[in-house]
Structure 1
Amino acid sequence: MTKFGQSQPVRRVEDQRFITGKGRYADDISLPDMVQGVFLRSPHAHAKILKIDTTEAKQAPGVLAVYTAADLTAANIGVLPCMIPLKNRDGSLRADPPRPALADGMVRHVGDPVAFVVAETAAQARDAAELIEVDYDSLPAAANLATAMDTGQPQIWPEAPNNRVFDWEVGDKAKVDGLFAGAAKTVKLTLENNRIIVASMEARVSLAAFDKQTGRFALHVPTQGVWVLKKTLAKIFNLPEEKFAVYTDDVGGGFGMKIFIYPEQVLTLFAARALGRPVKWTSERSEAFLTDTHGRANLTHAEMALDKDNHFLALRVHNIADMGAYLSTYAPMIPTMAGTKVLSSVYRFQAVHARVEGVFTNTVPVDAYRGAGRPESNYIMERLIDIAARELKIDRAELRRKNYIPADAFPWTSAMNLVYDSGDFANTAETALKAIDWAGFETRRAASAKRGLRRGIGMAYYLEATGGAPTERAEIRFAEDGLVDVYVGTQSTGQGHETAYTGIISELLGISADMIRIRQGDSDMIPTGGGTGGARSLYSQGGALLSTSDAVIDKGKAMAAEMLETATGDIEFAAGRFAVAGTDRGIGIMEVAAEARKRAGVGYDQAAGLDTATDHQIQAITFPNGCHACEVEIDPATGVTQVVRYVVADDMGRVINPTIVKGQIHGGVVQGVGQAIYEHVVYDNDGQLLTGSFTDYCLPRADNFPDIEVILCEVPCKTNPLGVKGAGEAGAVGSAPATISAIVDALADLGVSHVDMPATPLKLWQLINERQTQAAE
């Protein structure tokens, strides 16, 4: 399949299943005697619930039950927890208001679940939900992040005065203040990182069953890892973990949003136990807009200090982060610990200080979305550098060159106290700039101008820091049908895990790829796992596959030595074959496994044959990085932006499969450009979602893009045995700032230094006309 560091563009082994319609997604699953659930959701962003009358709904055709918060309280069902403890600047703990699975006395965003109707069919459940009478006392909403903490704004939670969830800081404030005081030049910028909807291809599903004899729950749900969900549900239901089995099959996109605990999972489990029948809920797309966690949603003021030679000295950031109406599973971590660790990026800052305030608003909760805080921080950094370059009248690329961490300086301890193990930032940047012909751009700008179009070029260097659980598990079993099952603790949501893992095992054990099956997403079959998030899968799971394969080989040598009647120390292993050193006597690994399995049945001391499981300790995170370069043309008559060229030079460490890596980068670039130009969640002052469908919320489409050119610059990571760096989020980290950089460059002669995302046609058309009118006057 592949050889470590020797990239081969192997086609994905899972794609045959997908393109022939043989994928198995959660909504494809039906269980005997299954019934359907539908939620009644709040039409108000903020209101007291004075009364709920379910009488008529319970009597509707096909209805089996209607549940409200009172039913959950009576059954001692707990609230949905936020998993992230956080201390404020003064040492106190963040606010921690409860999040019930059904609204209890108050609704706090449009779409908040109020009641759950279970019927024989989904249509019957929907009809019955419309019969529920809820008496609301509507309250003013605090839906605007910019004003939610102002005096006199509606109070969303009594536990969070002025709607402030936390007030957190990191970095050396005194040192930063001193560097600013002595700086030759400072630049500052206030910007918005706009709220976006995840819009995964597959909507969320929850299918629950309960076995009365064993007292066990079974939950079929699309996730990014079943184990956190299993542990959390056990706490909510006040039951041992072994009473829950969670299953995830194929997943049509996650992007962070499918990691979290949601009310729908709790209610389907609760109803399945109460009714003694499997209960299924499938999200409609309109529900997804109102209930899936949203992403980004930050307002930031940032400042940068430079010395007389234009070297970066210090960075100061004050970020206001929208949490929505409830704290989602990992929400407080995203703008704080996850995002700020890359604030100094690839540059030689001496000090950084960041203050982050989390704010409740009467909107959908916000949590991790592809990149989880790192795109937001990189955006801040790259926009500041562009503004500094224009104010100093220095080429944007040249200012970055002066400040990159040099290739001979690794390991480098950043201003955020992270140790970067490897990188060649200057060379990676030059690779991208040369590929897009940065030096020859003005010729192309002039050619566009002759056609009445404004052309701009932009760049952004990004640094990603991967994350996730500190251990990962892998197990290899030689099945009785002659195939090899590899059990992994991560969860593919479309990235190509099966192909990558198959390639690694195929090379390590010399087993043909068509004999390897990757098993995932079964909390009974796989006892523990770190799941997928933070671009952790290949470096964490890959390390576990390495250690497990080594253990299999060691077992195999002992077994082969017995079969070949020699000492274990005389056995060598290569290309799937155990052989006596210096002879032609040998035996294949599959034969050894078959013999070991036979002997295991008659008391052989290696009771599991060659079957082996190991837990791999992850020594350090990785730091993918790269340079994005983007060219756009803007039509001043319409404000429409067309991306006409896009180049990425990426350092993902050693690349196991370039086809998969490039595909991941393509997808991330599209999501970042989507945020920069097209996507924007809009609420009105009453907290009503104005962009509640794809009619009003614009996703990027294929014809919005040229071919995305990806150049892989392999600088091996030194902190994991594969030498890889996480690729899953990187494309989304650098694309938004590169795109805005290009758009601003196209408008620079009008005196434009910054445009907030999204740079929609209306926004640009108004800006161009306003500046041209001002110039004419």
Structure 2
Amino acid sequence: MTQTAKTPAAGHSSAARFVGQSVRRREDAALITGRATFTDNIMLPGTLHMAVLRSPLAHARIRGIDARPARALSGVVAVLTGEDLAGEFAIGLPCGWPVTEDIKIPDHPPLARGEVNHVGDGVAVVLATDAGTAYEALGLVEVDYEDLPAVVDIEAALEPGAPLVHEELGTNHCYTWPLAVGDVDAAFAQADVVVEGRYVQQRVLPSAMEPRAVVVNPEPVGGAFTVFTSTQVPHFVRDLLALICGVPDSKIRVVAPDVGGGFGSKLNVYAEEALAFALARRFGKPVKWTETRSENHVATTHGRGQIQRIAVAATREGKILGMRVELLADMGAYLQLLTPGIAVFGAFTYCGLYDFGAYSFECKGVFTNLTPTDAYRGAGRSEAAYAHERIMDDLARELGMDPAEVRLRNLIPPFSEPRTVPSGVMYDSGDYERCMRRAMELVGYDELRAEQRRRREAGEVVQLGIGIGNFTESGGLSPSKVAAGVRLQSGGWEAATVRMTVGGKVEVVTGTSPHGQGHETVWAQIAADALGVHPDDVEVLHSDTAIAPFGRDTYGSRSLPVGGVAVHVAAGMVAAKARAIAAHLLEAAEDDLEFHGGRFSVAGTSGPGITIQEVALAASLASNLPEGMEPNLTADHHFDPPNFTWPFGTHICVTEVDTQTGRVGIHRYVAVDDCGPIVNPAIVEGQLHGGIAQGVAQALYEEAGYDAAGNPTTGTLADYRIPTAMDLPVFTLDQTVTPSPTNPMGVKGIGESGAIGSSPAVVNAVIDAVAHLGVTHLDMPVTPEKIWRAVSRAGNTASTRQPGSTHRREAGHGGDQL
């Protein structure tokens, strides 16, 4: 549920009819009536079903595979091992983001050859005439394993003598990526107070409603292939399957049908897509694979997985002078498409919204015998916000100041043009104090602090906690050019084509690939306003590389500030061409024309004018066009922004914590976000709902657990705790509007903001409720048991400090490394 604060709407051009309005999502009717088409719904004649035999061990040598009993099962077409299929692949699964020149990248074949490196690593593949037979055959394949020591802990993985995940690399160290701005040592030497924190970002499972699935159809003539796959990135799948399987990309068409969520986990090209492609090519028949939920827990990438050490140097008045960040990032067993870059991507936002002079960052990537990590909603930036907001609360406690006051003293002043921040990058625009004070006003901050003091003085069992989550994020993933040492490989541009048909309707082709974001609705609103038509007259085409051959797809809060802006510019180009033709047909100067409600007319006259639909017909007939003008109303545009966009916000969570049981209830939740001008408020609200839910889930519930041997302890949804709607509070949402100067719409993106601001707000609120009892450190997920044990250990003594939480140092003791 949501409560929306009553504030003035964001300003928009008086010409806007639909942008800024909560136009009902056109995508929803099919989804809620069962008429959507997901990949698993696709059944082509003659389809063979694929199943993957997965390793039950985290680390082992494969001494032999006996597939004879499985091959003898009726309905089984083939059982193939990694050795059998080695000739089908030109390369292994690639890493698309090598963050340093000396990064270590292990071979990653679609099926393991000789050694398995995590539970769920593919060992063999079965092809059968039906799915049931394929999975039955898996149980008949016998694999002789030689168990090897497993590497599970990322700190222990770097110790001398630790077992190696990949012996041929000679180390579990994948890379070290450093960044330094200003004189960090001097800042720490001058500080009155240094506060240090060690925080853990546990692994989480993206848990999309729809697990992954793929269907590959070999065309009978011409040697082409159509790939239907549940993905966020159909263009990446096309391009990388071409490389992996040695096929020209012109022979591969990739279609993403309706996709039931991704949250970053479908921003990848997986082994199963390559295997299905290779088998369809080998056997000349369609091949289908649908992931089970248990497979999803071990074969689809995980999110997060970091140990964060952060320190801030400050004056006694609470002004920050410098910050140090050191990360250990869990790569898992292999590098998937973006694995090494996720932690590095957060490097530029550990400084958050705060203004100080010196900053250093170092990230070490570490291999473990666990499922690979990769993007998860808020990738890199969520982890950064968690660390900087936890350390801000720790600093406030050390100084005896209110956490809000410490933040307000350090916020970057308002700016409307790009400015350099402590991490060395340029934020686009921001008014952080206005946003934060609005959140404090909505939540009733002073009244809550008074109530908190009352409960503490009364010694009540249920204590009140208030947590703040300030954040900014690098959204609108762009630009194409390398910036600040980040070796972005994907490119930040996006493509759009807008055309008016002979019948006067509008077609928009976009390179973005939505999976719940509402692109069809929003892109239609943008085009409708530009061309003076109704959104119902706009068709938006996407997620098919045969229709939209150019695109960089959907992730990183980029769809609107890159893809939507491309549509806006292309539609404007069509409108400009229509104006030129209308002026010609009306025998008037372009500057004399007015355009209202889809009709051109000459200003100051009572003439009939001409509709844009009539212009479209004239452009198609081409019998009376201005000299040198090409027929048809159509325009292509590739928008390549000059910078990221930097949405920001303040989330405030109010918790009630039962100090006798550890039970946490969220009493209030307020989120004030700034994503620039809003195109569709209802969609923004929906994106925030989902993001906040995921952040709350990481803070209180979710953790992908493993035992010391690398066996998953959360292999099913009975073990992995995902909250329901009943576990979530009412959200009070509001916005400030600070346009971005990096694009003509001023928009910034909102898809990940909720997931970034929420987890620090929730954890800070829980700790704030029990800090007076001596509990100043808890790691996620903050379960009732953890809270109860921490309160019990503290013995209700306010002077007790949790080991490993914070450390205070007076000035003059040097700037020692963390």
Q: TM-score, normalised by structure 2?
A: 0.91
Whether 1:108 and 2:117 are equivalent positions in the alignment is yes
Please name the residue that 1:671 is paired with: 694
**How many aligned residue pairs are there?**
771
Shift of 1:488: 0.5
Whether 1:218 and 2:241 are equivalent positions in the alignment is no
Q: Which moved more, 1:151-160 or 1:245-254?
A: 151-160
Q: Which moved more, 1:580-589 or 1:316-325?
A: 580-589
The structure 2 residue matched to 1:728, chosen from 743, 748, 751, is 751
Shift of 1:636: 2.7
Please name the residue that 1:60 is paired with: 73
Task: Report percent identity of matched pairs.
Answer: 39
> Are the aligned partners of 1:600 and 1:608 in contact in 2 as well (CA < 8 Å)?
no
Shift of 1:678: 0.4
Distance in structure 1 (CA, Å) of the matches to 2:523 and 2:778: 42
Shift of 1:451: 6.4
Shift of 1:83: 0.7
Distance in structure 2 (CA, Å) of the matches to 1:602 and 1:730: 48
The structure 2 residue matched to 1:171, chosen from 161, 164, 180, is 180
Please name the residue that 1:380 is paired with: 387
Whether 1:11 and 2:18 are equivalent positions in the alignment is no
Please name the residue that 1:96 is paired with: 105
Distance in structure 2 (CA, Å) of the matches to 1:567 and 1:8: 33
Distance in structure 1 (CA, Å) of the matches to 2:144 and 2:602: 81
Shift of 1:712: 0.7
Whether 1:534 and 2:540 are equivalent positions in the alignment is no
Whether 1:43 and 2:66 are equivalent positions in the alignment is no
Distance in structure 2 (CA, Å) of the matches to 1:75 and 1:425: 54
Q: Which moved more, 1:545-554 or 1:243-252?
A: 545-554
The structure 1 residue matched to 2:598, chosen from 566, 576, 579, is 576
Shift of 1:693: 1.0
Please name the residue that 2:766 is paired with: 743
> Are the aligned partners of 1:3 and 1:656 in contact in 2 as well (CA < 8 Å)?
no
The 3-state SS of whatever aligns with 1:354 is: strand
Please name the residue that 1:644 is paired with: 667
Shift of 1:296: 0.6
Please name the residue that 1:511 is paired with: 533
Residues 55-454 of structure 1: pairs in structure 2 closer than 5 A: 55-87=68-100, 93-172=102-181, 175-336=183-344, 338-407=345-414, 411-445=418-452, 446=454, 452-454=461-463
Unaligned runs of 5+ in 2: 1-9, 14-18, 479-490, 801-818
Please name the residue that 2:810 is paired with: none
Whether 1:544 and 2:552 are equivalent positions in the alignment is no
Shift of 1:225: 2.4
Shift of 1:725: 1.1
> Are the aligned partners of 1:507 and 1:575 in contact in 2 as well (CA < 8 Å)?
no
Equivalent position amino acid for 1:258 in 2: K
Equivalent position amino acid for 2:160 in 1: T
Equivalent position amino acid for 1:294 in 2: H
The 3-state SS of whatever aligns with 1:769 is: helix
Shift of 1:605: 6.7
Q: Which moved more, 1:763-772 or 1:341-350?
A: 763-772
Shift of 1:443: 4.3
Unaligned runs of 5+ in 1: none
Whether 1:554 and 2:567 are equivalent positions in the alignment is no
Write the deviation string for residues 402-437 of structure 1: whole angstroms up to 9, x where unpaired: 111111585421111122232111111011111111
Distance in structure 2 (CA, Å) of the matches to 1:602 and 1:117: 61
The 3-state SS of whatever aligns with 2:639 is: strand
Q: Which moved more, 1:590-599 or 1:743-752?
A: 590-599
Distance in structure 1 (CA, Å) of the matches to 2:460 and 2:310: 37
The structure 1 residue matched to 2:545, chosen from 523, 530, 548, is 523
The structure 2 residue matched to 1:761, chosen from 763, 784, 787, is 784
The structure 2 residue matched to 1:476, chosen from 498, 505, 515, is 498
Q: Which moved more, 1:365-374 or 1:595-604?
A: 595-604
Distance in structure 1 (CA, Å) of the matches to 2:797 and 2:95: 50
Distance in structure 1 (CA, Å) of the matches to 2:293 and 2:755: 23
CA 1:480–1:107 in 2, change beyond 3 Å: closer, same or farther? farther
Shift of 1:237: 1.3
The 3-state SS of whatever aligns with 2:349 is: coil
Distance in structure 2 (CA, Å) of the matches to 1:44 and 1:285: 19
Distance in structure 2 (CA, Å) of the matches to 1:327 and 1:115: 21
Shift of 1:575: 2.8
> Are the aligned partners of 2:302 and 2:371 in contact in 1 as well (CA < 8 Å)?
yes
Equivalent position amino acid for 1:133 in 2: E
Equivalent position amino acid for 2:792 in 1: N
Distance in structure 2 (CA, Å) of the matches to 1:675 and 1:775: 28
Write the deviation string for residues 191-239 of structure 1: whole angstroms up to 9, x where unpaired: 1011100001111111101124211111001221211111111111122
Write the deviation string for residues 310-361 of structure 1: whole angstroms up to 9, x where unpaired: 211111111000000000101111111x110111111112111111110010
Please name the residue that 1:497 is paired with: 519
Write the deviation string for residues 460-479 of structure 1: whole angstroms up to 9, x where unpaired: 21111111442111112334
Q: TM-score, normalised by structure 1?
A: 0.95
CA 1:566–1:602 in 2, change beyond 3 Å: closer, same or farther? closer
Q: Which moved more, 1:654-663 or 1:574-583?
A: 574-583
Distance in structure 2 (CA, Å) of the matches to 1:341 and 1:330: 17
Distance in structure 1 (CA, Å) of the matches to 2:546 and 2:770: 57
> Are the aligned partners of 2:78 and 2:128 in contact in 1 as well (CA < 8 Å)?
yes
CA 1:473–1:601 in 2, change beyond 3 Å: closer, same or farther? farther
Distance in structure 2 (CA, Å) of the matches to 1:532 and 1:775: 48
Distance in structure 2 (CA, Å) of the matches to 1:85 and 1:682: 28
Shift of 1:131: 1.2
Distance in structure 2 (CA, Å) of the matches to 1:603 and 1:52: 73
> Are the aligned partners of 1:600 and 1:609 in contact in 2 as well (CA < 8 Å)?
no
CA 1:188–1:477 in 2, change beyond 3 Å: closer, same or farther? same
Shift of 1:304: 0.6
Write the deviation string for residues 677-704 of structure 1: whole angstroms up to 9, x where unpaired: 1001110011000011111110111111
Write the deviation string for residues 606-638 of structure 1: whole angstroms up to 9, x where unpaired: 555112222122122111111110111112332
Distance in structure 1 (CA, Å) of the matches to 2:102 and 2:674: 39
The 3-state SS of whatever aligns with 2:446 is: coil
Shift of 1:8: 2.3
Distance in structure 2 (CA, Å) of the matches to 1:596 and 1:409: 41
Whether 1:488 and 2:497 are equivalent positions in the alignment is no
Shift of 1:764: 1.0
Write the deviation string for residues 97-148 of structure 1: whole angstroms up to 9, x where unpaired: 1100000110000010111111110001011111111111111100122311
The 3-state SS of whatever aligns with 2:618 is: helix
Shift of 1:570: 5.0
The 3-state SS of whatever aligns with 2:267 is: coil
Distance in structure 2 (CA, Å) of the matches to 1:258 and 1:114: 22
The 3-state SS of whatever aligns with 2:154 is: coil
